[in-house]
Structure 1
Amino acid sequence: MKKNIFIGMFIGLIANAIGLILTATLIGNGDDFSTVIKAASEEGFLGKLISLGAILNLITFFIFIKKKQDYRARGVLLITVFIAVFTFAFKMF
Structure 2
Amino acid sequence: MIKKDIFIGMLVGLIANSVGLLLTATILGQGDDFTTVIKAATNEGFLGKLISLGAVLNLIVFFIFIKKRQDYRARGVLLITIFIAVFTFVFNLF
Instruction: Give the shorter-chain TM-score range.
Output: over 0.9
Equivalent position of 2:87 in the other structure: 86
1:66-81 alignment, distance < 5 Å: 66-81=67-82
Equivalent position of 1:65 in the other structure: 66
Write the deviation string for residues 30-67 of structure 1: whole angstroms up to 9, x where unpaired: 00000000000000000000000000000000000000
Equivalent position of 2:49 in the other structure: 48
Unaligned runs of at least 5 residues, structure 1:
none
| TM score, norm. by length of structure 2 | 0.99
2:52 aligns to what SS in structure 1?
Answer: helix
1:51 aligns to what SS in structure 2?
Answer: helix
| TM score, norm. by length of structure 1 | 1.00
Partner Cα distance (1:28, 1:84) in 2: 22
Partner Cα distance (1:5, 1:89) in 2: 25
2:40 aligns to what SS in structure 1?
Answer: helix
Unaligned runs of at least 5 residues, structure 2:
none
Q: How many residues align?
A: 93
What is the Cα-based RMSD across aligned positions, in Å? Answer: 0.2
Partner Cα distance (1:45, 1:32) in 2: 17
Superposition misfits of 4+ residues, deviation over 3 angstroms: none
